Amino acid sequence: MNKIVQCVPNFSEGRDLEKIEKIVNPFRGKNGVKLLDYKRDEDHNRVVVTVVGEPEAVKDAVIEAMGVAIEVIDMTKHQGQHPRMGAIDVVPFIPIKNISMTEAVELAKEVAKIASEKYNLPIFLYEKAATDPQRENLATIRKGEFEGMAEKIKSPEWTPDFGPAEIHPTAGVTAVGARMPLVAFNVNLDTNNLEIANKIAKCVRHISGGLRFCKAIGIELSDRGIVQVSMNMTDYTKTSLYRAFELIRIEAKRYGVNIVGSEIIGLVPMEALIDTAVYYLGVEDFSMDQVLETRIME
């Protein structure tokens, strides 16, 4: 592959394995496309797919998968802990090799235009592809979620970038964009009190005065009887995972709560984990050039 782009579409189905396989299937067996991972979460009721490949091939596969998701997901019946506004909730493109952010933005716009026309789906552009500063932040676009989007979309300031100015009756609304690699990082707490998780999330996330490249919400893991602080680290090179972890630990102390574990959803850049390992091990003068896999892949 001369040019490589990554795409991490999030679909609002994390419980029905048959539906998930149908959604993921368009990414299998395609020239120029490699399915790296798909991670489902029953509490979030969401599946996160990670694919890489040549831009045109990835574009075609993503559009096909979006069509399948519209067929099998009914948002009027969807319930889950993770904020969502559509069957295909978000479709980000990330430049990986020999492709610029500008090209990733153009690819996002192509996908949004084609999918909106093919499926009669309202689509917002976000992050680097945003057409308005208030649309850069996905959380701002998604505020109100599926249930509130029917009214929100009628407002002139929230007219979709592509597609009709009304939600799809069963698939809702989609956001398509281009961004830096994101790390979906969750920290679990030994309490079932969701209010505590939300208070800690408020301290951690940037929009409330926390870490610059961190988005966070509280999530209830009902099957485990605990809660978690669910985060998107939007630039791990500037806000490290260990900083978010330690800040959560500090804030949890005031409630007598402890961290009992953490998780990474989907794939993660090696540098993000190496950075954290170096911090906790106290390794001095360490360089990514000392990582065996880095030298092998040169």
The residues carrying an active-site annotation are 82
Q: Is 257 helix (H, G, I), strand (E, B) or coil?
A: coil
The amino acid present at 243, given as its one-letter code, is: R
Beta carbons within 8 Å of 293's beta carbon, 6+ residues apart: 270
Q: What is the DSSP letter of 156?
A: G
32, two tokens = 């120029």
Contacts 24+ apart (CB under 8 A), 289-298: 294/270
Reference 153, options 78, 64, 85, 248; nearest CA is 85
Structure tokens at 140: 């701002």
**Nearest one of 44, 48, 50, 35 to 15, comparing CA atoms:** 44
